[in-house]
Structure 1
Amino acid sequence: MTVKDPSKLQRDNSVLLDIRNLKVQATVYSPGEQPRDITIVDGVSLQLRRGKVLGLIGESGAGKSTVGLSSMGYGRGGVRITGGEVFLNGRDILKGGVRGLRKVRGSEVCYVAQSAAAAFNPAHRLMDQVVEAAILHGIGSRAEAEKRAQALFAKLRLPDPKSIGYRYPHQVSGGQLQRAMTAMALCSEPDLIVFDEPTTALDVTTQIDVLAAIKDAIRDTGVAALYITHDLAVVAQVSDEIMVLRDGKMVERGPTRQIIEAPRMDYTKALVSVRTIEHEEKEPTPKPLLSARNVTAAYGGGAVTVLQDVSLEVHPGQTLAVVGESGSGKSTLARVITGLLPPMAGSITFAGRTLAPTLADRSKDDLRELQMIYQMADVAMNPRQTVRTIIG
């Protein structure tokens, strides 16, 4: 059984992760053209000491997640690490082969993905998945791993920490599932955790709690972390240093306070500058476009009531924000409106007509005129189809 000494890790300020001149390429396929390679990470180098957190920020496509995955020796489908070295605990993991990487992943380094819904297996209970890596790598017995998991559930403010692990992924909210995945990474007591925007799905209150728990875990265990995000408010709370990426290259790196308060590069200045969007206020039209009247909805055949007597109106040209904590029923309300979940009571009216409660009973016009944009596009889209096919 592997036993880790947190106090020893805390005293050790040595370099844990050392990425040197990393280059990552991907193969792009276009209709009527020959496949071609593009560079998505170009010569990035970084060092991360034990117990420290490095925030990776940049716009979408900057290479943040690719750098994070490369620290595990991993590349997504069609993506290849074509140059550079990745030293973890003094070893170049890119030279360890498949067997060596298997020993490292889930033990020395763990990954918290952006999309928990895609990361969990829907056919297995949460607890089985949370403790799996710890058991496989010999980090305590199953009983010890489950005890650690329950303590992490409580620390991450999950409801019913002693029993929530025995639910299936679809039986918890998106925010709760995201926290369960954070617990899964921490349960293995790794040296390095790669956080790939782990608080994206959380409300502000829960986000603060989760960030506090992550900071506590880093302090208590000496674990180091790469924290990938586009949210500067988040990275300012949790990171010791920040690296700014753009088009696969490093723009600048420095202490968090310096990057936030006195960035050197124009691109970083643009990222941290506060921008507001002015909206022209319009008088609402007399008749609403969408109305929900006294909607009550539940899961499990009515066993768990999520919405109780909810009503709303949205007028043409108006945007209505639905705000609430994780599990408060926001997405459930959207599912009822779009016909994905029939309500137990109440009605939905759109453009003057009452909509059928189920998606199957709605007309083609209903389906065309009332659309949903999902939180996680990678889960919503069919991976077997091209983007062109999906849109068309």
Structure 2
Amino acid sequence: MSTMKTDHKTQLSEAVNSIKPSGIRRFFDLASKMDNIISLGVGEPDYSTPWNVREASIHSLERGLTSYTANAGMIELREAIAQYLERRFDVSYNPEDEIVVTVGASEGIDLALRAIVNPGDEILIVEPCFVSYAPLVSLVGGVPVSVPTSLDTNFEVTSKMIEERITDKTKAVMLSFPSNPTGSIMGEEALASIARVVCEHDLVVLSDEIYAELTYDTEHVSVPSIKGMRDRTILISGFSKAFAMTGWRVGYVTAPSTYAKAMLKIHQYSMMCASTMAQYAALEALTNGRDEMEEMITSYRQRRNYVVKSFREIGLTCHNPGGAFYVFPSIIKTGFTSEQFAEKLLVEERVAVVPGDVFGQGGEGHIRCSYAASMNQLEEAVERIDRFINKRVK
């Protein structure tokens, strides 16, 4: 018998070996070992799931409703999702064959990519963006192609920027507005211009709209509501952000039936169905969760206004985000890279933020700060950041 030591890494897939661990997680791990930390790094609401939503889940357990649901999700929940999307965002889907309930919006992104990507297909990704997009493209054999945005354009993307990166291998465009990490939003006119390019080149759009409800100055415009886009858009969303349900892991994808059925096939083999108890909670959130959502939105708007104003007063260039619950200030004036700034701020002042470079091209020179924290925490964090900067910038 051979005693040769096995090199486990060589037995992993090349795709897995090629991707890096999440840059966000590294900073969370560092912060977890320190005392007196104020975290502006967590991308989740600081609210608990409303009681009526929790109670609906508890009641389902009390009734013994613990079996599998249909693979696509409870039909009652799919019907509620369809009604909600039509009422709020003016997009219409058939709950029978155009909606799949997923294990969080993250599974929805994975399903969408696995359903459409062949090896070598190029997927345009508007950056800075959520950290999972490019790795998930790579894991299915696709080629992520960055479409970088910048502070100069408030991190919005234009049709020209997209068209310049289209090749004969381009399959799809990934959009996410309101954006994580920048909070930027896109208006109807800009999206219509992008739609013309997408249609001309026969592309698919994967639109991650998980922050759709969290807009503060104007209503969200859903990509499939744009003329010509419903039939070539896979809409990805969920309950984590607007309904304060991150840990429940319930999301959904909506798309023309051909796409939806393809995603359902993958979902059947990989997940079977989303948690039954969580689906009952999600149904209650859609049915009776509007009041709590509006309270959160009002509070987030106040916090956003405070943080943007305060960062500008202490000398950080910071655009006013139209949605989500993040600000993305520039720290270039300090002379540090994003990672250096975040590490030194964490060690010296015990404030956890996320370096902007982990979100892709255009993120370097920035940090992501979540204002889903209490006003007391935000005020203290601003004081500490001000002190940190004053030590270095006169």
User: Same fold judged by TM-score > 0.5?
Assistant: no
TM-score, with length taken from structure 1: 0.33
**Rg: which structure is higher?**
1
Q: Relative CO higher for 1 or 2, CA cutoff 8 Å, sep ≥ 6?
A: 2
The structure in which a higher percent of residues are strand is 1
